[in-house]
Structure formats: structure tokens, C-alpha cells
């Protein structure tokens, strides 16, 4: 099975396939539009000569190089403009797709039982996979379907239909959500958004055809625009055909892989299989009523169109059979929601001790971008151990902001008072009591619990106004620098917040493409990151140097002479700049950096809490999520 980095590289290469298929579609559409224009000219202005012409004249009348050139320019421009406009619209993130489809945002602090169950499943899967908790939307459709959308892990959203809430129990819902998280982990959502923009451009020809058909004649001669509109409408439906073909080529295999990943995540094929069987049994099936379903059909859990011709998904029966080989082909009779069976709660697990663990680098690298069933169980157990009042607070926008600021307060009374003055300068004194209350609730929690708790609060924090978000980031920087030093927790926290909040303030940060495909321009940056991890767990410079060289020689970086490692102290600004550059590197480079860092951390046979914290921060910046740190998983 491919690991995370191989899946990321494959996703990048799928963009090349998408470009080739799109180019072929544009070529055929150009030819079709040219023929439509020539046919319109001949029929409307000189139909008799068209009928009576000899073959030579016929060929001459049908082939005009100059007309063909201008037709290609105009047609390609229309397709390109339509695709670019839609792509720019979608570049705001996954929320744009969800709202375009008619989805309603689920408030993070909702008390509705069905919505709370949905959010709990999403939160647990996010914690287990170390992904940011995505925003959740509900579509009004009575069918059973779901989708994931977003350019990156940081702006991804999950959407489900009302039918999912009505007909699926917790195990079935977990299977569907795990399927969608697989798409986020494998960067399928980025490809999906690009494909949506391209399909919109192709379908635009048919839209223009509909407009021209409705133009009126002047009464003295045949209306050429109506003829042209009819021809363009026909050509446009050829474009729809190519669009569906591209969607099917890109989407079908990924859906089967996502099914397999969902089973791997939950170790419960029955839950996902039952969800698919209920789609087959339901009158509404998986149909989506949105007018935008044509260009977005490929993002859904199951076929969203009424027709299965050139379906974006494998046959429903084949997917069920792959999950349940003993299935006899009959669909269940759906019962009323209140009668539905809910799986009994599993006995509580012993919460993992994450302060220090013996962790082989090979196991660490294999776990990047994966989710294990035990990690999902531990995530559920971890949430149950957090006081309900704390969970309620972190799901409220203002409460989540107060929790975040409280985690940065120093235990030193004098420094804490200075930090509170800084907070009052930004937000006034009305938050002081709430922040101090949160500080008392959080002060005894271990570092990993604070980080995961704040990840739960990110969807709520993202609902704050742009002004408040800018103030929040500025205040975080000031609080961290109050004592003139930055510890690893503060660094990891600042990285997490900025990576997940900045896209809300400035969506253009989501559109940064891969810029580095070679190690050479990044060797100094790679060395900076590996040295930082080596220093985090080493008692002295000699041990740090040994750890650095061990890490460097244990990865693909070994093909290059190791640079001189940094001293005992590494500038946070320098580390930040190195990580920002590495975030724009191709997956093989990211793999090498993380592999070297993992070997450097484990040179003494164990990964300490401080090393694990820094590794998580590095992986988060690089877009390589490390799952819940459980020994042996």
C-alpha cells in the first residue's frame, strides 16, 4: 500500500492527467463550435448553394482557416474565462462549495442531538488523524450523501445531507465520515476543486447556446443566432459528455481507495456497507437537487445525479460487494429513525500516556497521514475525559478565543499580569475573568491535550470577524514574546493557529503551488529543521551533533554532505523561514526532512514529549499530519 508521501505525489501527478484530458476536451469542442458556426452561416445565408454544391465547392465552403482560427480563439477564451472565474470563486476554500450546494453551517456549539452526534464523529476522526477539525455543513436533501471539499487540509469542510442524519446510525455515519477524511488526507479535495472549475468552463458553451436560442428574429429572415444557439447547445452537451468522462476517469478509482481507507481507519466494514445499502433502499437514493450538481458530482460520497450514465462512482452494488462479499443483493427495509439500532458503547480504554514513548522512526514515518482504529478509540476516550464545561467553552467562538489566550499565560504571576494587560489592550477588560477561569481549568492539562483541545476550537475561532482574527494573531505573538523567549509549546501553538486562521484572513495563501522539486536549494533549510529537533532532546551540543548526523544519514538527504549543524540555540525566526520554504517543497523532499528529523529524535532510543511536540509542529507546517501519538500504532 502507498504511504502518505507516495499518495501525495500521485495526487500531484493526477493534475497532469487532468490537464491532458481537459486539453483533449477543448480541442474537440473547438472543432464542434467551428462546425456549428459554418453550418449556421451556410443554412441561414445560402442554403441552396450548400445543397447544390459539388464536392470541391462543398469542401471550400466548409473549410475556412481564418474562421477556424478565430472560432478556436473565441471558444478557448470562453472556456478559459469560465474556468478561471469559477476557480477564483472556489479558491476561497471548501466553504464556497458547501454554500454553493445549499449547505448550512453547523454551529460548533449546537445542542441538537443529531448534529451533535455528527460533530462528535467529525471531531474524533480529526483528532485521530491529526488533521484540523473541518467545518461541517448539512445539505437539505433527503437523500444519503456526503462530500469533502477544500484546497488544503486547513480550509477543508465536510458536508452531509439531511438524509445522513435521519437514516444513519453512529457506526454508519462514522464509515461515511472516514471515507471523506481519506479524501482530505490524500489531497483529493484539491484535485476536485480544480476539476469543478474546469468542468464549469466546458459546460459554459451549452449555457451560451441556451441564451442564443432565446434571441428573437427580426421577422424578415431566419434568425442566425437561434440556429447558432441550437448548434452550440448540441456542442455544449458534447462538452457535458466530455466533462462526465473526465470526472469518471479521475474519480472512480479514488472512491474505491477511499472505501478501503475508511475500513482501515475504523476496522468496521459493516458500518460503511450498511450506509451504502441504505442508499440502495432509499427512494431518494443519493441524488442531490442542487443546480450545481453537474460540475460537482465527482466530490460526493455516492453518485449525485439521477442518471448513472458515465457515473463518477463505481456501481453501488460493486462497492457493497467489495465490503461485504456475503451480500445477497437485497437492500434492507428502512425503519423509522427512532427505532434505529445504535451500537452499544464500547468499554472505556486506558488513556494513553504521551509524555515519553519508545517509538521507532520507521513506525513514525509509516503512521504519517494514516488513521488507525485504536487512534480513533483513543480520540473518543480522550474527549470523554475532558470536562463537559471545557468542551462547551471551546465550541463557542469567544470561549475558544479565551481558551487559546489562556493557554499562553505564564505561571509566573508578574509575567502573567503583563500578558493580561496586553490582552486588555487588544480586546478590552471584558474577557479578563473568562480567560482567568479558562487558565485555571487548563493549567494542569498536558501539552498534547491543550493542543488537541485548541484544534477542537478552530472551527469556532474561524467564525470570528476578520478584525478579531487579526487582533488574535497579533496578540498571540505579543504574549509569546512577553518573557523574551519561546518554548516548544508556544512555537507549536503559534504554528497551528497561523496555519489554520490565516487562510480565513487571506485565502490567497491556499493557492501556493509546489515551488521546489530539488533538494539543493533547500539543504540549509533541511539542516535547520533537523538540527532543531536534534537540539530539542539532546542534553548537550555533542549529543545534538550526533543526533543530527544520525538523522541526516538515515534519509534521502544522505546523498548530500551534511552542512555544519547549528549550535545549541536556534533562532525561531530562522526555523520559521526554513519551514515556510519547505512547505512549498514536493512530497519526496518533505518525506526526507521528516524522516531525518524522526531519526534525530530517536537517536537515543526514545522520543520525548518535547521532541514529539516539535515533530508535530514541523509536520503540521509541512502538511503531513501525525496521528494520535499511541505507542505501537
Residues that are catalytic: 180
Strands 135-139 and 157-161: parallel
Contact call for residues 470 and 438 (beta carbons, < 8 A): no
The b-or-e profile of 296-326 (16+ CB within 10 A means b, else e) is bbbbbbbbbbeeeebbbbbebeebbebbbee
Alpha carbons 143 and 160: distance in angstroms, whole number: 10
Structure-derived torsion over alpha carbons of residues 226, 230, 232, 233, reported in degrees to the nearest 10: 130
Contact call for residues 31 and 75 (beta carbons, < 8 A): no
Geometric angle at alpha carbon 114, from 112 and 116, rounded to 5°: 65
Contact call for residues 167 and 125 (beta carbons, < 8 A): no
Alpha carbons 616 and 40: distance in angstroms, whole number: 63
Geometric angle at alpha carbon 383, from 377 and 389, rounded to 5°: 165
DSSP state of 585: B
C-alpha cell recorded at residue 585: 517543497
- Closest by CA position to 155, among listed 504, 461, 620, 623: 504
Number of residues written out for the chain: 633
Amino acid at each position: 500500500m502507498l504511504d502518505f508521501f507516495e499518495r501525495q505525489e500521485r495526487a500531484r501527478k493526477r493534475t497532469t492527467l487532468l490537464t491532458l484530458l481537459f486539453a483533449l476536451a477543448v480541442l474537440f469542442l473547438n472543432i464542434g463550435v467551428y462546425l456549428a458556426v459554418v453550418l449556421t452561416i451556410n443554412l441561414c445565408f445560402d442554403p441552396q448553394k450548400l445543397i447544390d454544391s459539388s464536392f470541391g465547392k462543398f469542401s471550400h465552403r466548409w473549410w475556412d482557416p481564418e474562421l477556424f482560427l478565430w472560432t478556436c480563439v473565441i471558444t478557448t477564451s470562453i472556456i478559459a474565462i469560465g474556468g478561471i472565474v469559477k476557480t477564483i470563486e472556489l479558491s476561497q476554500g471548501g466553504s464556497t462549495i458547501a454554500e454553493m450546494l445549499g449547505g448550512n453551517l453547523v454551529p460548533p456549539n449546537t445542542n441538537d442531538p443529531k448534529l451533535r452526534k455528527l460533530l462528535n464523529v467529525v471531531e474524533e476522526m480529526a483528532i485521530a488523524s491529526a488533521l484540523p477539525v473541518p467545518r461541517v455543513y448539512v445539505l437539505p436533501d433527503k437523500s444519503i450523501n456526503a462530500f469533502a471539499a477544500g484546497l488544503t487540509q486547513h480550509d477543508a469542510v465536510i458536508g452531509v445531507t439531511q438524509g445522513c442524519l435521519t437514516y444513519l446510525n453512529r457506526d454508519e455515519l462514522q464509515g461515511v465520515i472516514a471515507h471523506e477524511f481519506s479524501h482530505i488526507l490524500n489531497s483529493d479535495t484539491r484535485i476536485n476543486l480544480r476539476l469543478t472549475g474546469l468542468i464549469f468552463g466546458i459546460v459554459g458553451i451549452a449555457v451560451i447556446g441556451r441564451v442564443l436560442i432565446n434571441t428573437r428574429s427580426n421577422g424578415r429572415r431566419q434568425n442566425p443566432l437561434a440556429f447558432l444557439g441550437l448548434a452550440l447547445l448540441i456542442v455544449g452537451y458534447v462538452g457535458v459528455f466530455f466533462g462526465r468522462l473526465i470526472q469518471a476517469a479521475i474519480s472512480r478509482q479514488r472512491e474505491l481507495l477511499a472505501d478501503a481507507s475508511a475500513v482501515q481507519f475504523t476496522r468496521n466494514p459493516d458500518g460503511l456497507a450498511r450506509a451504502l445499502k441504505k442508499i440502495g433502499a432509499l427512494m431518494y437514493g443519493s441524488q442531490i437537487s442542487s443546480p450545481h450538481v453537474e460540475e460537482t458530482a465527482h466530490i460526493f460520497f455516492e453518485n449525485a445525479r439521477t442518471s448513472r450514465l458515465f457515473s463518477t462512482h463505481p456501481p453501488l452494488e460493486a462497492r457493497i460487494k467489495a465490503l461485504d462479499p456475503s451480500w445477497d443483493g437485497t437492500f434492507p427495509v428502512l425503519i423509522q429513525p427512532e427505532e434505529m439500532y445504535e451500537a452499544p458503547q464500547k468499554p472505556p480504554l486506558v488513556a494513553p500516556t504521551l509524555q515519553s514513548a519508545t517509538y521507532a522512526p520507521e513506525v513514525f514515518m509509516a503512521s504519517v497521514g494514516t488513521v488507525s482504529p485504536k487512534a480513533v478509540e483513543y480520540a473518543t476516550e480522550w474527549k470523554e475525559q475532558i470536562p463537559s464545561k471545557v468542551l462547551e467553552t471551546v465550541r463557542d467562538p469567544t470561549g475558544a478565543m479565551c481558551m487559546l489566550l489562556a493557554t499562553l499565560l505564564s505561571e509566573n504571576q508578574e509575567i502573567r499580569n503583563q500578558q493580561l494587560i496586553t490582552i486588555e489592550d487588544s480586546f478590552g477588560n471584558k474577557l479578563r475573568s473568562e480567560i482567568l477561569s479558562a487558565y485555571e481549568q487548563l493549567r494542569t492539562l498536558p501539552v498534547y491535550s491543550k493542543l488537541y483541545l485548541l484544534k477542537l476550537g478552530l472551527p469556532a475561532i474561524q467564525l470570528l470577524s476578520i478584525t478579531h482574527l487579526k487582533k488574535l494573531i497579533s496578540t498571540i505573538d505579543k504574549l509569546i514574546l512577553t518573557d523574551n523567549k519561546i518554548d516548544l509549546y508556544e512555537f507549536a501553538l503559534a504554528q497551528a493557529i497561523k496555519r489554520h486562521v490565516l487562510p480565513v484572513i487571506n485565502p490567497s495563501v491556499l493557492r501556493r503551488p509546489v515551488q521546489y522539486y530539488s533538494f539543493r536549494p533547500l539543504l540549509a533549510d533541511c539542516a535547520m529543521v533537523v538540527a532543531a529537533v536534534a537540539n530539542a532532546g539532546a542534553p548537550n551540543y555533542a549529543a545534538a551533533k550526533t543526533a543530527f548526523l544520525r538523522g541526516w544519514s538515515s534519509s534521502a538527504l544522505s546523498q548530500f554532505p551534511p552542512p555544519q549543524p547549528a549550535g545549541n540555540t536556534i533562532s525561531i525566526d530562522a526555523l520559521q523561514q526554513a519551514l515556510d520554504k519547505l512547505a512549498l517543497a514536493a512530497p519526496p523532499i518533505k518525506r526526507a526532512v521528516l524522516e531525518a528529523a524522526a531519526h534525530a529524535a530517536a537517536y537515543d532510543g526514545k522520543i520525548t514529549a518535547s521532541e514529539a511536540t516539535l515533530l508535530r509542529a514541523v509536520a503540521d507546517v509541512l502538511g503531513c499530519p501525525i496521528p494520535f501519538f499511541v505507542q505501537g500504532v
